[in-house]
Amino acid sequence: MPNKKKSFRENVDLMVDRAMIVKKLSPGLAAAIKQCNAVIKVQFPVEIKGKTEMFTGYRATHSSHMLPVKGGIRYSSDVNQDEVEALASLMTYKCAIVDVPFGGAKGGLCVDPLKYERDELQRITRAYARELAIRGFLSPATNVPAPDMGTGPREMAWIMDTYKNLYPEDINYIACVTGKPVHLGGVRGRTEATGKGIQYALRELFRFIDDVEKCGLSGDLSNKRMVVQGLGNVGYHAAKFLSEEDGVKVIAVIERDGVITNPKGINIDDLRAHIIKAGGVKGFSGGSFGEDRAGAMTIECDILMPAAMEGVITEENAGRINAKIVAEAANGPTTFEADEILRKRGITVIPDAFLNSGGVTVSYFEWVRNIGHIRFGRMGRRFDELRGQHITKAIEEITGKKLPEWAYKELLRGADELDLVYSGLDDTMRTAWQEIREVMAQNPAITDYRTAAYYIAIEKIERAYHAMGVY
């Protein structure tokens, strides 16, 4: 008999408990780390088409051992307090794993954004932002939101402008949110950051032959078969980068209205364009359409990438998952019971708290850029170009030969903001993966990547608590 369904928050806490047992934390400290510090529920009216509608929103601060706390805001009819608290706790661990100096937070508004026109959604967003700001849950110094499901740069711009009008004396107002449009203080690379981070993380895994062999695979990412569940922002960019730049073959994409399969590989850009035009995958000419979304999760593949909602791999289907690697691009896609089953079956799980941390990493870069009031690369780009000119001239004088065109192009180009963002993201994901590997090598009791990642997070949070005199 299946166990009683656990909440999202309970699933996260149970997975963290495994690392806490290995770490041998005292019950009091373990409870302090897991507990949500503060949760606010706001209810407010907005006039829509001549009628007053009431809206409910949440913002949870999981841990303020580092400030500001950081976490996205999602718009969905299904938003609830348990979900927001679970996502906030994941953000705390996520930031610690990749050494982003933020605490964890999350927000959510109970609204279906597809049911409202742009101006209506703007009024709703501004009202929600005011509720958060006047209660101290929106500030560049203490609480910084970002986009999540159902929100994007547009909503972040509205929130930022609302905060600016409330607190015009705050010279750092632009840093009160991240994920903004580039022309309003956003950083290039933020939109695709989570997907790009997933690419960098998987590349790093495949650099280590022993890691790849533990997964039951060999070689590099080229021609590895991948099934993607959810082609939203994260799934699209991860699949696009991995297929176009690393040769991964996307053999199936699962979406709301069905699944597209093609053993020769799916063109991700073509499919995305079709979804935008048609509203779903049905009718796409680059593969075969089917309605069995649940069955598609069990297609034989090398990499299964759940990139949509939480709780899609459960104890009901975990025994039928037919992948070598489960790459958790979404937050909480695997329940605790399912994770236990996958571990026993020897299926490698790359945990969400590490794998999808590219978004918060680049959000950190954007926040730093905003606090510094200068774009990355502005001070050094032309100096780098000049240095490149000196290098090429010296090489040609020494060798007596003219350099090829590609060498000129690379050596004479100074790094722009996107180069620096990608470089920082790549370094972050690679370093974090190496830390996870090192922890597993040093602790024989840790046999899976999720426990190793949480072990690292807990150790860093414990160290911060100790330094502050919390215990």
Positions marked catalytic: 106
Phi, psi of 107 (to 5 degrees): -135, 160
**Which class for 375: exposed (0-12), middle (13-18), buried (19 or more C-beta within 10 A)?**
middle
Q: Is 352 within 8 Å of 332 (Cβ atoms)? A: yes
Torsion angle in degrees (nearest 10) through CA of 423, 326, 264, 268: -50
Q: Which amino acid is at 460?
A: K
- Quickly count: other Cβ atoms within 10 Å of residue 54's Cβ: 9
| DSSP 8-state symbol, 31 | H
Instruction: Dig out the tokens for 436 from the structure.
Output: 């996870």
| DSSP 8-state symbol, 316 | T
CA separation for the pair 12, 15 (Å, rounded): 5
CA separation for the pair 403, 327 (Å, rounded): 43
Conformational region of residue 179, where left means phi above 0, alpha means psi within -120 to 50, and beta covers everything else: left
Q: Is 385 within 8 Å of 416 (Cβ atoms)? A: no
Angle value at C-alpha 101, between 95 and 103, nearest 5 degrees: 60
Under DSSP, is residue 217 helix (H, G, I), strand (E, B) or coil?
coil
CA separation for the pair 131, 122 (Å, rounded): 14
| CA quadruple 96, 359, 275, 125: dihedral sign | positive
